[in-house]
Amino acid sequence: MTTTNQVVRDVAKQEYKYGFVTDVEQESAPPGLNEDTIRFISAKKNEPEWMLEWRMKAYHHFLSLLDGERLPGWANIHHPPVNFQDIIYYSAPKAKKELASLDEVDPEILSTYEKLGIPLQEQKRLAGVAVDAVFDSVSIATTFKEELAKHGIIFCSMSEAVQEHPDLVRKYIGSVVPHTDNFYAALNAAVFSDGSFCYIPKGVRCPMELTTYFRINSEGSGQFERTLIIADEGSYVSYLEGCSAPMRDENQLHAAVVELITLDNAEIKYSTIQNWYPGDDEGKGGIYNFVTKRGICQGRNSKISWTQVETGSAITWKYPSVILRGDDSIGEFYSVALTKAYQQADTGTKMIHLGKNTRSTIIAKGISAGHAQNTYRGLVRVMPRATNAWNFTQCDSLLLGDQCGAHTTPYVEVRNNSAHLEHEAFTSKVSEDQLFYCNQRGISIEDAHSLIINGFCKEVFKQLPLEFAVEATRLLEMNLEGTVG
């Protein structure tokens, strides 16, 4: 018994390994949010007039929400109010000049990514993975661009896309998550600084994994990236995002927006390994992660699949969703959320069935340790036209110790009688019997925990691209590390 409690305490206390700060000269906007902030960001990025107008519209909408105190209050999370005038909305490493190649990137930044396990240099690149590296408010580098261009694939930073592919950006940006969607989506639309843009042309199967790695470095800054992925007819892409931040006592805000669009017969597989700084074991510091992610299966027989492994952030508030507009389209959501110490996660998904024969699957696994609170919140909505819609939902919770909490809040709205919905949920603890069984086979308490937890998460992990599944497993193990046998 004591050993188990020890493990639970240690789980709650494990150290964050990506908490270092990179010492580079930064160029920042002054803290605070007003029209000038937005003009500053827009000017920094040399944006066309329409983009600035788009931001301004969002900003004024955000102001009206803020003044009307219309902040989202329904989530099972608790934090002091965020002062939006204290945040630095733009912070970038000072570029000495226009970068002609990766060799000119500040070596400090290159070594940062290397420490994070994301080498960017030509000779060390991850085979078969193209990376866009976002450092605070800007994209530092995107690898394998030429290789991808041969297939007609566009993979670049959002800032570059606004310059190089304005028609595509203008057509799709805000089409899935409009600035009026919610409070943080409005804020993001006003001040978004960078992010990734990806376009897969008709009939192309993207030959490699695309990855964006987000790193918050500067003190007092927030990160507001915006990602847009468009899969044209009959195309396929697998995309992964990773993230981390230094350890700081203050809370930093991360409010991203991700929009996915699939046309006829296209498929996007979007995976996230979220490892923002979660705060210390007393609950001090950590990232507030308020993210809006949504995809639309615009075309018939198209598919969007979200897989997320959430281990970081002081607060996670995100609901990657799929609008199933095209007939026969498929939406999937696979999630593992591990919360420990004083972390809070309110996460889940929305599946909106509009088209006929649309199918969705939701598998959510929540693991809580320490004093953490873990909530699954999901909505399955079947609209009148969605004949023969099908949904399967399974949300399971695993508790480590007796001071944490797991909550499940499913919403179901069905307006078509032909819909078929199934829902399963259970909450369990790692049992003493399971631990003893493992111990009796020579497996230590610590390894037994990670074995049992990995087993619990297996259905989700098997959705991840192979090498990231390994990373996710390692990440969970790391979060369980530092225990006595």
Q: Which of 44, 60, 145, 458 binds another protein (CB under 8 A)?
A: 458
Question: Given the rule CB under 8 A, which of 7-15, 121-129, 405-413, 443-451 is the region that contacts another protein?
Answer: 443-451
CA distance 73 to 461: 31
State the minimum distance, in angstroms, from the CB of residue 451 to another protein: 6
To another protein, the closest distance from the beta carbon of 408 in angstroms equals 18
Site residues for another protein, 42-71, by CB under 8 A, read none
> 28: which 2 tokens?
């920042």
Is position 474 an interface residue for another protein (rule: CB under 8 A)? no
Q: How far is the C-alpha of 136 from the C-alpha of 274, rounded, in Å?
A: 16
Q: Which stretch, 35-43, 102-110, 309-317, 455-463, contacts another protein (CB under 8 A)? A: 455-463
Residues 421-440, mask of contacts with another protein (x by CB under 8 A): ----------xxxx-xxxxx
Element of type H or E holding 469: helix 466-479
User: Scanning the structure block, which residue is given the tokens 């002091």?
Assistant: 80
Asked if residue 472 binds another protein (CB under 8 A), the reply is no
* Closest CB to another protein among residues 64, 431: 431
* Min separation Cβ 117 and another protein, Å: 23
Query: From the CB of 483, what's the least distance to another protein, in Å?
Result: 13
Only segment of 366-374, 378-386, 410-418, 446-454 that touches another protein (CB under 8 A): 446-454
Provide the Cα torsion 456, 392, 414, 427; round to 10°. -20
Q: How far is the CB of 182 from another protein (least distance, A)?
A: 35
Nearer of residues 30 and 485 to another protein, judged by Cβ = 485
Q: Is 127 exposed, middle or buried (0-12, 13-18, 19+ CB in 10 A)?
A: exposed
DSSP code for 29: P
Contacts (CB under 8 A) with another protein, residues 301-360: none
In the bound complex, what is the minimum distance in angstroms from residue 15's beta carbon to another protein? 24
Q: Is 97 an interacting residue with respect to another protein (CB under 8 A)?
A: no
Q: Which is nearer to another protein, 451 or 478 (CB)?
A: 451
Closer CB to another protein, 203 or 455, in the complex: 455
Q: How far is the CB of 318 from another protein (least distance, A)?
A: 24
Please identify which residue in 76, 180, 416, 444 interacts with another protein, judged by CB under 8 A: 444
Among the listed residues 459, 467, 477, 481, the single contact to another protein using CB under 8 A: 459
Q: Using CB under 8 A, pick the residue from 51, 354, 364, 445 that binds another protein.
A: 445
Tell me how far CA of residue 485 lies from CA of 9, 443, 447, in angstroms: 13, 9, 9
Q: Is 150 in the site for another protein (CB under 8 A)?
A: no
- Please name which of 237, 147, 151, 244 lies closest in space to residue 197, comparing C-alpha atoms: 237
Least separation in angstroms between residue 3's CB and another protein is 7
Closest approach of another protein to the CB of residue 5, in Å? 11
At a CB cut-off of 8 Å and minimum separation 6, what does 124 contact? Answer: 114
**Per-residue mark of binding to another protein, 377-416 (x: CB under 8 A):** ----------------------------------------
Q: How many residues bind another protein (CB under 8 A)?
A: 26
Which three-class secondary structure state does DSSP give residue 306?
Answer: strand
Tokens of 348: 């889940």
Distance CA 203, CA 461 (A): 28
| Cα separation, 357 vs 362, whole angstroms | 17
421 HSE (CA, 13 A, CB side): 21
Q: Which of 241, 249, 272, 14 is nearest to 139 (CA)?
A: 241
Residue number, 99 or 484, with CB nearest to another protein:
484
Nearest to 22 by CA among 223, 218, 312: 218
* CA gap 318, 297 in Å, rounded: 19
- Choose, by CB under 8 A, the member of 30, 128, 384, 485 that binds another protein: 485
**From the CB of 430, what's the least distance to another protein, in Å?**
10
Residue 471 to residue 465: CA distance in whole angstroms:
10
How many other CB atoms are found less than 10 A from the CB of residue 353? 32
Identify the residue among 107, 384, 455, 482 touching another protein (CB under 8 A): 455
CB 434 to another protein: min, Å? 5
Tokens of 80: 């002091």
80 CB-near residues (< 8 Å, 6+ apart): none
Please state, in angstroms and as integers, the Cα–Cα distance from residue 142 to each residue in 139, 189, 278, following that order. 8, 23, 27
Residue 329 in tokens: 């389209």
Q: What's the closest the beta carbon of residue 402 comes to another protein, in angstroms?
A: 17
For the segment 1-20, give every residue that binds another protein (CB under 8 A): 1, 3
Among 65, 69, 62, residue whose Cα is nearest residue 37: 62
Instruction: Give the residues lining the site for another protein (CB under 8 A).
Output: 1, 3, 431-434, 436-445, 447, 451-452, 454-459, 485
